[in-house]
């Protein structure tokens, strides 16, 4: 349960934290909020479509609201639902209808917003500048800017980092881009620019990345051609507005999947979760570790995304080897997977995970530091870590303002020998507003605090 006697999390000078009591056995069923990646894209594509796009289940997190605010600043009308459960409505302005914003576009903590909007805005007939919070302003942006410049975009960064300054487009041309890494954000930025480019725009990746952009473009009437590890489009005459159903976010569900594997005697059911095959790496990794996870698929949601109810039972987990191909399909779930590893029998070795060092925090370092703070045996490697399963202690973990680190160690606290305080939890709202309340419904005891 949530201790209502504790001070509520507030945006003040204090450190916002969770104090989590150990020993809860998760049980019951919940519906997690909508998928963040799909929510961002539904807003962007709806804004440049012809007509009104209705969105059911959109995630109203800080990150997605930053995308909505940026699009509104450029002339798109976005209506939030007046009644909970109703749909969002995006009044599209058409492919060429966006207008120059009155000032810099502040995208908060959202790397997805910044990278995808860079692809969209580099094709417009006006200049724009993208900025964010202190964390986002340190994140690499040249990985997106380089291929867009090859298309003719005029983009400047500050030593490879924000602000991202985009000059008025003089016209883009399609490219055949061989991506050095598999990245849905890089691919999506190029495809968004490709909506305005002359000729074919093709992206080939060395491995599988999330395909939400391809699926959604097709649902808006764009011809998308997939050949092996390549995807290509040509500029359409228009995008056609339609109704989209955003499934529950598997990355958010992953915290409670791991929590249920570790503690649930009665079982946990998560309803209507998106199970896009480019996202289910977390389930496959946990199954390799011995997790008892049943995925009951349902009809495909509007927008082309597969959906399922996920049922989880308490499981005896064992350590495994996780390599680069596994990491690529579970990149956002890595922190909570390492919590599972710390509670498993034996040793888990992770390699090929360098990308985790340039997320909202250096997630290799912050996970290692957090596990060590709770007494786990863990060794940091340049591209991963080695985790030896064993008992966890109570203690204090600094999330460094990283929402997924904060939520992962909230789950770790279930298995600790004493209470665990997780510092800097305000940014949980960037991806999972209501996380603590959802945990409480499954039986967790999470006390919200503001520490002076």
- Kind of pairing, strands 230-234 and 225-227? antiparallel
Q: Count CB atoms within 10 A of the CB of residue 13.
A: 7
Q: What is the distance between the alpha carbons of residues 361 and 391, in angstroms, rounded to a whole number?
A: 26
Encoding tokens for residue 425? Answer: 């939890």
What is the H or E stretch that residue 439 is in? helix 435-441
Q: How far is CA 437 from the centre of its chain?
A: 20
Helix, strand or coil for residue 38?
helix
DSSP character for 157? E
Q: Is 332 designated active site?
A: yes
Q: What is the distance between the alpha carbons of residues 436 and 333, in angstroms, rounded to a whole number?
A: 18
Catalytic residue among 133, 332, 398, 402: 332
Q: What is the distance between the alpha carbons of residues 253 and 288, in angstroms, rounded to a whole number?
A: 18
Peptide bond into 176 cis (omega under 30): no
Helix, strand or coil for residue 351?
coil
Q: Which of 109, 153, 100, 159 is nearest to 131 (CA)?
A: 109
Report phi then psi at 286, rounded to 5. Answer: -65, -40
Q: Count CB atoms within 10 A of the CB of residue 9.
A: 18
Helices (H), 237-383: 250-263, 281-288, 324-328, 334-342, 363-373
Q: What is the distance between the alpha carbons of residues 160 and 167, in angstroms, rounded to a whole number?
A: 16
Catalytic residues: 332
């Amino acid at each position: 349960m949530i201790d209502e006697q504790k001070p509520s999390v507030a945006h003040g000078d204090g450190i916002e934290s969770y104090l989590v009591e150990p020993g809860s056995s998760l049980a019951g069923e919940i519906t997690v909020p909508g998928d963040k990646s799909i929510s961002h894209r539904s807003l962007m594509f709806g804004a440049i479509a012809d007509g009104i796009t209705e969105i059911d289940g959109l995630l109203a997190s800080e990150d997605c609201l930053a995308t909505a605010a940026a699009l509104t600043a450029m002339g798109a009308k976005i209506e939030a639902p007046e009644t909970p459960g109703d749909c969002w409505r995006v009044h599209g302005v058409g492919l060429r209808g966006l207008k120059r914003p009155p000032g810099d576009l502040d995208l908060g903590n959202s790397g997805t917003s910044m990278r995808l909007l860079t692809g969209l805005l580099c094709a417009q007939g006006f200049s724009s500048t993208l900025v964010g919070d202190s964390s986002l302003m340190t994140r690499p942006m040249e990985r997106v800017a380089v291929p867009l410049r090859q298309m003719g975009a005029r983009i400047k960064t500050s030593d490879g980092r924000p602000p991202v300054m985009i000059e008025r487009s003089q016209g883009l041309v399609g490219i055949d881009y061989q991506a050095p890494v598999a990245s849905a954000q890089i691919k999506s930025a190029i495809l968004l620019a490709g909506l305005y480019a002359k000729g074919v725009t093709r992206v080939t990746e060395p491995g599988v990345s999330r395909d939400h952009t391809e699926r959604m473009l097709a649902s808006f009437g764009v011809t998308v051609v997939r050949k092996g590890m390549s995807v290509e489009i040509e500029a359409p005459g228009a995008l056609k507005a339609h109704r989209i159903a955003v499934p529950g976010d598997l990355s958010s569900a992953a915290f409670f999947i791991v929590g249920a594997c570790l503690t649930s005697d009665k079982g946990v059911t998560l309803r209507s979760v998106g199970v896009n095959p480019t996202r289910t790496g977390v389930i496959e990794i946990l199954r390799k570790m011995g997790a008892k996870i049943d995925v009951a698929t349902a009809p495909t949601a509007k927008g082309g995304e597969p959906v399922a109810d996920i049922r989880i039972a308490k499981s005896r987990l064992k350590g495994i080897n996780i390599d680069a191909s596994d990491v690529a399909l579970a990149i956002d779930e890595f922190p909570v997977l390492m919590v599972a590893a710390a509670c498993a029998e034996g040793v888990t070795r992770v390699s090929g995970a360098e990308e985790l060092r340039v997320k909202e925090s250096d997630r290799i370092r912050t996970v290692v530091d957090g596990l060590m703070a709770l007494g786990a045996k863990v060794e940091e490697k340049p591209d991963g870590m080695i985790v030896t399963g064993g008992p966890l202690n109570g203690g204090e973990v600094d999330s460094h303002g990283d929402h997924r680190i904060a939520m992962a160690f909230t789950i770790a606290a279930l298995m600790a020998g004493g209470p665990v305080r997780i510092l800097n939890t305000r940014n949980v709202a960037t991806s999972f507003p209501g996380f603590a309340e959802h945990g409480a419904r499954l039986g967790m005891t999470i006390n919200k605090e503001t520490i002076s």
